[in-house]
Amino acid sequence: MPPEPIYDDIKTTTDIPRASVYHTQYREMTSTLVEFDYSDPPCVVCRVPNRSTVLMVPARNDCPDDTWTEEYHGYLFASRNYDSSPPSEYICVDGNIESLPNSAADIYGSHLFQVESRCVVGGSMPCGPYQDGYELTCAVCTK
């Protein structure tokens, strides 16, 4: 979020149902990433000149083939609010994870959780290759 918001046509009401924007924190990190638990992630934009297609590959830390260029790989995350609503969107967080300085506090808001696989016998995530409770990796590729 920008440090200085600009508002148009302000109507401050609390009795009309609206969507809310909260800050976001990393939560329930695995042991290798535990130092980032409760920290706020920075906002980033990936721009790659002369490549117009971006592909996020879940459950892999590499690109589909040599025609793709890997921009980064890391872990699959999804946002959840305190009301246990379903994930809003799955995102790939760079394995060289970062957080905003001085942001490690447990504050009400949206949280980014690492995504774990849940295998289903005969399903699209079959047990065997997918293991229950394993954190999923990801890669962001361009061409």
Contact predicate 24/112, CB 8 Å: yes
User: Which residues are CB-neighbours of 105 under 8 A, at least 6 positions away?
Assistant: 38
Residue 133, amino acid: G
For the stretch 48-107, pLDDT in tens is 788 888 899 999 999 999 999 999 999 988 876 555 566 678 889 999 888 877 776 666
Task: Give the pLDDT of residue 99.
Answer: 80
| Greater pLDDT, 110 or 23 | 110
What are 31's two structure tokens?
């042991």
User: Which residues are CB-neighbours of 70 under 8 A, at least 6 positions away?
Assistant: 62, 63, 139, 140, 141
Three-class secondary structure of residue 134 per DSSP:
coil
* pLDDT band for position 139 (cuts 50, 70, 90): very high
pTM above 0.85, yes or no: no
Task: Give the pLDDT of residue 59.
Answer: 92
DSSP-assigned letter for residue 136: P
Contact predicate 70/62, CB 8 Å: yes
User: Which residues are CB-neighbours of 112 under 8 A, at least 6 positions away?
Assistant: 24, 25, 26, 27, 41, 77, 78, 79, 91, 93
Task: Give the pLDDT of residue 14.
Answer: 64
Within 10 A of 60 (CB to CB), how many other CB atoms are there?
A: 13
* pLDDT band for position 138 (cuts 50, 70, 90): very high
For the stretch 10-26, pLDDT in tens is 667 666 666 666 666 76
